[in-house]
């Protein structure tokens, strides 16, 4: 697919998410907050189904994993010991005129003509009003130089407005324009074209103060990952669960990172959720378990409907891996905006537990009953993002095909082909006509029959075709229609049967109402 169709596809997905209540911008009525999102009625269902399935597979269906739910605020000492306070940073560069930031490793090479406006602009009376530094902007290939001059004038007018009277600001003229050709340079901001500052580290943790005073003594951070609470609770959980190595502790929860450049819809957010497992083991088991968990996690994505052909495993090269990790895989997905990480599977050795043992002075060792040895366990960590996976699920499910309208004419249909397991609503129930009391009463009986088992939606408004279409667009896999045959009016043998429609094939089958719970559960689980 071409770059432009991919960006069109992404636009359609974002617009559908808002129109149908999956995802909204946070604080939208106040202009939003960059990097923060709200999940609407359907988004929250999708997210819960994903988290519940992860929990089922990673905790409930295993003997060797238990769960926990840690606090977001933790003692600052945790972040000192884990290394986050000192080193959890990205190299960042700043546009020298808008101060917009960008991650140093995310600047792509650009070519064009560099314009440098030095010195000053001159108002009417001949006084000079100087740029603090030369204003350097890249005029990219294909752009007209006047657009760069306009930016420079606007920028300079802002500076001059602080020093001059309003009518003088209007008469400013740019002076000292110099140009030079630029080929494939990463020194310009991808959006503004402004010259970038030298890279410098930018700590990604949000600071916060706990208690009445706002000083160093009460400083801590919003957690940037859920993993650390698992490490600091390791001993408590080991004691209460009486697990033997290898065993894991799983957690789903919020994490916060002050990302330099939130983008690609919810993909890179400042507030997000993680699903993390810390799987503790003996040192000699680490590398094998890294392979095991990579495979398990790939299976997981396939089981929620993400096709294997769009998943990729990147072996993180030595120089990019955390120094304590002996092996890391990134599981990536082909989003419409490119191939990007969904999950990291890392063999973190005994680094985290050793750090916390050293810093807290409390033993985090494991005692092996058989060998009578004491040692610090190693750990393999599959760490997935809830929001990124939700976005991948929506991107994967989005499709347009052709379906007949009321009069049998083919029209374009938007359909979210979610796996039934994660679809927000599992089944919609429709009476054929809303003004026929026996049809309505029967449909409501079916809703009551199904509700204890699964999430169903009752809809009686509009033509039946339009009702199907509304459900297709939000990915409801099954539709049950109560018609006159259900009432036994045409053929007594069909009394108490309904049509069950499949979202993807649009085929309808006639089934007995009493069989519906079993049929649906078999197809959803």
What are the residues binding ligand ATP (CB under 6 A)? 225, 257, 259, 268-269, 272, 274, 341-344, 383-385, 387-388
Closest approach of ligand ATP to the CB of residue 383, in Å: 4
SS3 (DSSP) at 453: coil
Nearer of residues 343 and 472 to ligand ATP, judged by Cβ: 343
Nearer of residues 115 and 221 to ligand ATP, judged by Cβ: 221
Length of the chain equals 525
Structure-token match 């940037």, residue found:
224
Closest approach of ligand ATP to the CB of residue 178, in Å: 38
Nearer of residues 37 and 117 to ligand ATP, judged by Cβ: 37
Nearer of residues 225 and 485 to ligand ATP, judged by Cβ: 225
Closest approach of ligand ATP to the CB of residue 344, in Å: 3
* Residue of minimal Cβ distance to ligand ATP: 385
Closest approach of ligand ATP to the CB of residue 36, in Å: 11
Closest approach of ligand ATP to the CB of residue 254, in Å: 11
Nearer of residues 321 and 453 to ligand ATP, judged by Cβ: 321
Q: How far apart are CA 279 and CA 293, in angstroms?
A: 9
Q: How far apart are CA 357 and CA 148, in angstroms?
A: 56
Nearer of residues 268 and 378 to ligand ATP, judged by Cβ: 268
Nearer of residues 384 and 393 to ligand ATP, judged by Cβ: 384
How many CA atoms are closer than 13 Å to the CA of 94, on its beta-carbon side?
7
Q: How far apart are CA 427 and CA 2, in angstroms?
A: 35
Nearer of residues 139 and 331 to ligand ATP, judged by Cβ: 331
Nearer of residues 88 and 458 to ligand ATP, judged by Cβ: 88
Q: Give the strand pairing for 478-482 and 456-458.
A: unpaired
Q: How far apart are CA 259 and CA 292, in angstroms?
A: 31
Closest approach of ligand ATP to the CB of residue 224, in Å: 8
Q: How far apart are CA 397 and CA 462, in angstroms?
A: 26
SS3 (DSSP) at 175: coil
Maximum CA extent, the chain:
98
Nearer of residues 139 and 255 to ligand ATP, judged by Cβ: 255
SS3 (DSSP) at 491: coil
Closest approach of ligand ATP to the CB of residue 16, in Å: 20
SS3 (DSSP) at 39: strand
The two structure tokens encoding residue 306: 């993400």
Closest approach of ligand ATP to the CB of residue 293, in Å: 14
Nearer of residues 257 and 419 to ligand ATP, judged by Cβ: 257
Q: How far apart are CA 31 and CA 195, in angstroms?
A: 28
**Sequence-separated (6 or more) residues with CB below 8 Å from residue 480:** 427, 428, 429, 430, 443, 446, 498, 499, 500, 501, 516
Closest approach of ligand ATP to the CB of residue 27, in Å: 18
Contact 230, 278 (CB under 8 A): yes
Beta strands, E only, 350-493: 366-368, 373-375, 378-385, 398-404, 410-416, 427-431, 456-458, 478-482
Q: Is residue 98 packed enough to be buried (19+ CB in 10 Å), middle (13-18) or exposed (0-12)?
A: middle
Closest approach of ligand ATP to the CB of residue 61, in Å: 22
Closest approach of ligand ATP to the CB of residue 280, in Å: 19
Closest approach of ligand ATP to the CB of residue 272, in Å: 4
**Sequence-separated (6 or more) residues with CB below 8 Å from residue 429:** 443, 446, 447, 450, 456, 457, 458, 459, 479, 480, 482
Q: Is residue 431 packed enough to be buried (19+ CB in 10 Å), middle (13-18) or exposed (0-12)?
A: buried
Q: How far apart are CA 431 and CA 461, in angstroms?
A: 9
Contact 439, 486 (CB under 8 A): yes
Nearer of residues 383 and 486 to ligand ATP, judged by Cβ: 383
Closest approach of ligand ATP to the CB of residue 225, in Å: 6
Nearer of residues 274 and 481 to ligand ATP, judged by Cβ: 274
């Amino acid at each position: 697919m071409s770059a432009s169709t991919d960006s069109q596809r992404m636009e359609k997905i974002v617009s559908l998410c808002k129109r149908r209540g999956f995802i909204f911008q946070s604080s939208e009525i106040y202009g939003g907050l960059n990097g923060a999102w709200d999940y609407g009625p359907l988004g929250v269902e999708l997210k819960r189904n994903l988290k519940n399935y992860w929990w089922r597979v990673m905790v409930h269906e295993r003997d060797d994993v238990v769960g926990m739910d840690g606090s977001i605020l933790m003692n600052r000492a945790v972040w000192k010991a884990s290394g986050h306070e000192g080193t959890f940073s990205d190299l960042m560069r700043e546009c020298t005129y808008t101060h917009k930031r960008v991650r140093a490793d995310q600047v792509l090479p650009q070519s064009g003509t560099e314009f440098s406006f030095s010195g000053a602009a001159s108002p009417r009376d001949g006084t000079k009003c100087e740029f603090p530094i030369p204003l350097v902007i890249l005029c990219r290939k294909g752009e007209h130089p006047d657009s760069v001059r306009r930016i420079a004038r606007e920028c300079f007018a802002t500076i001059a407005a602080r020093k001059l009277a309003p009518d003088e600001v209007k008469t400013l003229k740019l002076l000292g324009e110099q140009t030079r050709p630029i080929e494939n340079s990463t020194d310009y901001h991808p959006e503004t074209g402004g010259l970038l500052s030298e890279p410098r580290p930018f700590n990604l943790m949000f600071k916060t103060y706990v208690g009445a005073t706002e000083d160093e003594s009460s400083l801590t951070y919003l957690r940037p990952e859920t993993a650390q609470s698992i490490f600091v609770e390791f001993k408590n959980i080991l004691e209460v669960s009486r697990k033997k190595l290898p065993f894991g502790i799983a957690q789903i929860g919020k994490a916060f990172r002050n990302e330099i450049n939130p983008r690609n819809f919810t993909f890179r957010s400042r507030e997000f959720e993680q699903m993390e497992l810390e799987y503790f083991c003996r040192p000699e088991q680490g590398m094998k378990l890294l392979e095991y968990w990579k495979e398990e996690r790939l299976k997981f994505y396939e089981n929620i409907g993400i096709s294997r052909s769009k998943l990729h495993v990147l072996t993180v090269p030595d120089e990019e891996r955390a120094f304590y990790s002996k092996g890391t895989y990134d599981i990536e997905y082909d989003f419409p905006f490119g191939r990007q990480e969904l999950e990291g599977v890392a063999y973190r050795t005994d680094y985290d537990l050793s750090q916390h043992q050293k810093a807290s002075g409390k033993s985090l060792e494991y005692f092996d009953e058989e060998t009578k040895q004491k040692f610090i366990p190693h750990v393999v960590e599959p760490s997935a993002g809830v929001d990124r996976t939700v976005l991948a699920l929506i991107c994967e499910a989005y499709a347009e095909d052709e379906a007949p309208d009321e009069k049998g004419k083919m029209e374009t249909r938007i359909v979210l082909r979610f796996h039934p397991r994660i679809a927000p609503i599992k089944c919609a129930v429709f009476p054929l006509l809303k003004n026929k009391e026996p049809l309505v009463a029967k449909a409501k009986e079916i809703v009551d029959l199904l509700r204890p088992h699964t999430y169903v939606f009752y809809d009686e408004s509009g033509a039946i075709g339009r009702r199907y279409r509304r459900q297709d667009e939000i990915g409801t896999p099954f539709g049950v229609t109560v018609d006159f045959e259900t009432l036994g009016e045409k053929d007594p043998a069909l009394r108490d049967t309904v049509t069950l429609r499949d979202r993807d094939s649009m085929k309808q089958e006639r089934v007995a109402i009493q069989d519906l719970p079993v049929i649906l559960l078999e197809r959803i689980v």
